[in-house]
Structure 1
Amino acid sequence: MKIKITKPKGMITKRAGKAFLFHEVCKRFKKDGAHSSIILGGFGMKRRPKMGLVLGMSLTLLLSACSGNNGGGAATNGAAATPGSEPAASAAPAETAAPEAAPPDLGGRVLKFAAWWDLKPAGNTASEKERLAKIAEVEKKYNVKIEFVNVPFEEYMPKFTATVLTGEPFADIMQMEYKSALPAALKGQLLKVDEFTSPEDDINQEKKLMVRTPAIAGQEYGFDNPGMAGSGIHYNRDLFKKLGLPDLQELYASGQWNWDKFLEIAKQATKDTDNDGKTDTYGFSGWSIDIARNFVAANGGAFVDPENKAEGFTNPNTIEAVEFVNKLYNVENVVKNKTGDRMNYEEFNTFKDGDVAMFPAPIWAVNSELPFDFGVVPFPVGPHGSDKFTFADSGSAAKFIPKGVKDPQLVYKIYEETFDIAQTEDFPGQEWLEGQYNHEEDIMMMKDNINGKGQIVLEDAYPDYPTGKFLTDILVNSQSVTASAQKYKPEAEASIGKLGN
């Protein structure tokens, strides 16, 4: 008997929950038999949320209690047998199911799954332990050995290129950034998803185990297990309270979160709090290229349009967004520049000093161990933006199967099966978000309003694409945005041409 578990909205008390559980089990068991549905109450999260379901009683005993004291005899459907009554008609014999075909025997083949970190589950959580057990089960089922290959990032793509060119990729499934996958796809070095999946695979059915990732070069090549990814404006809640600033999530909920409000708060947070003539707190910080990419994406622009193979510097939406970023740096002076170099990547970490009110950051860049409390909202949508893209996903990555892999359909099937385990999370990526954020409202903000709304940034895929030069002229050398866009347009177009079609 299979019991489907769902969760009702709202909260119930512990005692009421037990009564409710027993009542629902009995009612639905008697009505629907093996298809009964049990509804369990959940509890809201505060700090350090615990969102999993806990079953505190044995369902087997519960269902036995519901059935009544009928001694385990045959069901009578409420009608007692009487002497002389005609016997019930014999049930028609059940059809014998065709024997399931034996899985292919790969003869001990080693399947390699690669990334620039260890993809093997650590075994620290219940789901990780279950997946390790599933991997062992799949290895035995297909007579294979699964090996997780960890290659240093700087060696990863050179190794990919060298081995693919020989016809023997160093791994069967590879993690790749989109900016690396685009050139590989254009060179015919990757297989399309439709080339290694079947209609029966989960990726083409319920999509609970695996999903297709966004297309590149007009085709779908990538796949991955459902998860959580996103970047937003994070804010130092402690500093906001100290400075008397309005909570950003309240502004977002009320529809007031836009570029004007962002700038207003950034200006209010940039101040000399002890009157010593030096600025003590700042409105904003971050790596300037990352900042510009995000505001451009949130305004419907892009530095490069890979689908149309066109530069994006001269796009009016891009120019408008870069003008706004220039205003933050050179007009309002609300950005903290710790290193003295506005183009320095290390400015990405400046927010960790604790004196910056707002900063852009992806999920992985924050965690519950930061020395201050923090929250998150989407980047404010620009005047010409939409809710489709709220951030620039410059680190987007997925799994790919290189050309030259033997039996790619079977390799993919085996990989997908390793994720066929009981789902212990309320939604994909829940455990990770709970480890990164301290508040339920931040977890739900990321899940509902940021995840899946990233514009994939591919300008780094093009040889020497001049994004850095373009922004340096504006943010460091105080050049006109429009003039700089025209200046670097030919160089950008030449870069696109070098990659080819």
Structure 2
Amino acid sequence: MQKHIAIILMLGLGISLASCGNKAASGAIPGKTEAPQSAAEGNSQENGRYTDDGKRIITIGTWFDKYYVSKHQDIHDDPGLSQPVTAQMRLDRMREIEAKYNIVFNFVNLTFEGVRESIDISIPSGDPDVEIYEVDLQFGIPAVLKDYAIGLKEMGLEGTDVFNSQNVMKYLRVASQDEAYLFSPSGSGATNAYPLAFNLTMIRAAGLENPQDLYDKGEWTWEKWRSYLTALTRDADDDGDIDTYGFSGYWTYTLSNLLLSNNTGIAPGTQEKLSSPATQEVLDFINTIYNKDKTARPWDRSNWEINNRLYAEGLSGFWVCADWIFNEQGGTDLPFEIGVVPWPRGPSGSFAENHHSQPQGNWYFIPQGTENPRLVYDVLFDWTNWYDYDLDIGQDTAWSRNMYITERNYKYATMMASRPGFDLWENLGTDFSILPLMAGELSVVTLIGEYQPLIQEALDNYFK
């Protein structure tokens, strides 16, 4: 499977691609003119576009139509109009931004493949086609690693919304870099995180402390979790068969979150980390709970769903959760209390530095060679913040909050969503799987030996 198809499936994009016509479709870029002397503060560079009457032209390069931008004069310009009240708010905000910054703000439909072509050709020339690129991560990650993007800290954004409250924008760091280059609207209300859920009623009955309290005290570690799994795994009727397991959950989310909890990955950048000591710690821990302690329910290869939904029957102490999982498999309707907590810290992890989620959706970056990139960011920020920080309007979180049952649960999930990492391991076409490890069919050393060269080769092909 081609890598771009795989990543689109992974990110679950709900976007219909525009027709693959000429790059200069609706919102085509006007011709460049010499930039006038700028007195704006910040990181100013030489390339800018201006109208004849001196307005700065700021353009998003994307592959689908956007509403509402400068060329739109009426809410009915959007053929998919469904919410006229909020549509008018968006259009009014566009007019306010034009006046505030003396700009013209539009988009250009580069087509999906055209976005990649524009990035690879125009940015290295020092004369980027647009001021903002909207990208699928298959384009965005290589662009960052090739130093095609301007950093958010470089633009003076530390201490602002994107690094703090993230009510409007969120950031994504790539390959353990200190700087962040990719950013995106904070969301539509769903929470992009897969916390560790637990049966609080079962935990209290076993005389154990609430894992949330342990996390808050900095004591929620793999070893502590391992002791909980042992305490909750029971053969209730002494027939030799385990009736209740400490853990059951989807193996893909389990692996991804344990990697994040140990501050590592398998393919988080140009070099594989499957063979790293920190990743080996993750695989050793998985082997321990499945094959040595036998506190994790054996994987059922014939039924994907049963591996996680055992919790709904009260037969699993911990499991992988998300708002959509609670919606589909049970949450508020179940006869026991449910808690949610970030995954425990591994021996190479850090409560302060660990990432907690995988990114989804489309991301923006501002290319090198853009004049006054802070102005460009501020315009896009204000355009995105059409709801003026009123999250009840701009981001309807009611459904996700309800799925997480308690406000405390929801806050842990949103914290995790606000700290995304990145790992390509599911999207390299190597068919990497830990199922043989979980079943005791392969050792950790053998698994690493088989897949390490395949993953590195796939990364070399991906980033070339």
- TM-score w.r.t. length of structure 1: 0.57
Letter in 2 for 1:135: R
Residue in 1 that maps onto 2:25:
none
Shift in alpha-carbon separation, 1:138–1:353, aligned structure 2, 3 A: same
Letter in 1 for 2:438: L
Paired with 1:442 and 1:192, the residues of 2 have a C-alpha distance of 36
Whether 1:234 and 2:197 are equivalent positions in the alignment is yes
Contact kept? 2:169, 2:381, Cα under 8 Å: no
One-letter amino acid of the counterpart of residue 436, structure 1? M
**Aligned counterpart for 2:171 among listed residues 213, 218, 225:** 213
Could you say which residue in structure 1 is the equivalent of 2:326?
366
SS in 1 for 2:195: strand
Distance 2:290 2:165 in 1: 44
Q: Does 1:438 align with 2:405?
A: yes
Equivalent residues of 1:270, 1:283 under 8 A apart: yes
Aligned residues: 361
Instruction: Report SS of the residue matched to 2:421.
Output: strand
Task: Show the counterpart of 1:38.
Answer: none
Equivalent residue, structure 2, for 1:90: none
> Does the Cα contact within 8 Å between 2:299 and 2:435 map onto a contact in 1?
no
Deviations 1:366-400 (A, max 9, x none): 35545243111221111221113545523444433
Partner of 2:438: 475
Q: Tell me: higher relative CO, structure 1 or 2? Use CA pairs within 8 A at least 6 residues apart.
A: 2
Match 1:413 to one of 370, 379, 401: 379
Find the partner of 2:363 among 385, 399, 406: 399
Q: Report if the CA contact (8 A) 2:299-2:439 is conserved.
A: no
C-alpha contact 1:209 1:416 (8 A) present in aligned 2? no
Pairwise CA distance, 1:133: 4.1
Equivalent residues of 1:193, 1:222 under 8 A apart:
no
Within the alignment, does 1:293 sit opposite 2:256 as a pair? yes
**C-alpha offsets along residues 350-375 of structure 1, whole Å, 9 cap, x if unaligned?**
43443211012345533554524311
Are 1:351 and 2:311 an aligned pair? yes
Selected match of 2:212 from 243, 249, 264: 249
Contact preservation (8 Å) 2:174, 2:421: no
Alignment check: 8 A CA contact 1:192 1:220 kept? yes
Q: Which of the numbers 406, 411, 425 marks the counterpart of 1:459?
A: 425
| CA 1:402–1:389: 2 relative to 1, 3 Å | closer
Distance 1:327 1:442, change over 3 A: same
> Contact 1:300 / 1:384 at 8 angstroms: preserved in 2?
yes
Letter in 1 for 2:424: L
Is the deviation greater in 258-267 or in 428-437?
428-437
Cα gap change, 1:383 to 1:184, in 2 (>3 Å) = closer
- Secondary structure at the aligned position of 1:310 is classed as coil
SS in 1 for 2:182: coil
Match of 2:233 among 270, 275, 284: 270
Equivalent residues in 2 for 1:295-374, closer than 5 Å:
295-306=258-269, 309-337=270-298, 339-340=300-301, 344=304, 347-366=307-326, 369-371=332-334, 372-374=336-338
- Residue 182 of structure 1: which of 137, 141, 149 is its match? 141
Q: Matched residue of 1:455: which SS?
A: coil
Contact 1:319 1:481 in 2 (8 A): yes
Contact 1:193 1:223 in 2 (8 A): no
**Following TM superposition, by how much is the alpha carbon of 1:303 offset from its aligned partner in structure 2, in angstroms?**
0.9
Flag structure 2 segments of 5+ consecutive residues without an equivalent: 1-53, 58-68, 119-130, 368-372
Q: Is the 8 A contact 2:233 2:246 kept in 1?
A: yes
SS at match of 1:456: coil
The structure that has the greater radius of gyration is: 1
Deviation at 1:233, TM superposition (A): 1.6
Give 1:467's aligned amino acid: F
Determine if contact 1:377/1:445 at 8 Å carries over to the other structure.
yes
Counting aligned pairs with the same residue, the percent is 18
- Tell me by how many angstroms 1:193 deviates: 7.5
In the superposition, relative to structure 1, how do residues 162 and 310 fare at CA in structure 2: closer, same or farther (>3 Å)?
Answer: closer
Are the aligned partners of 1:138 and 1:414 in contact in 2 as well (CA < 8 Å)?
no
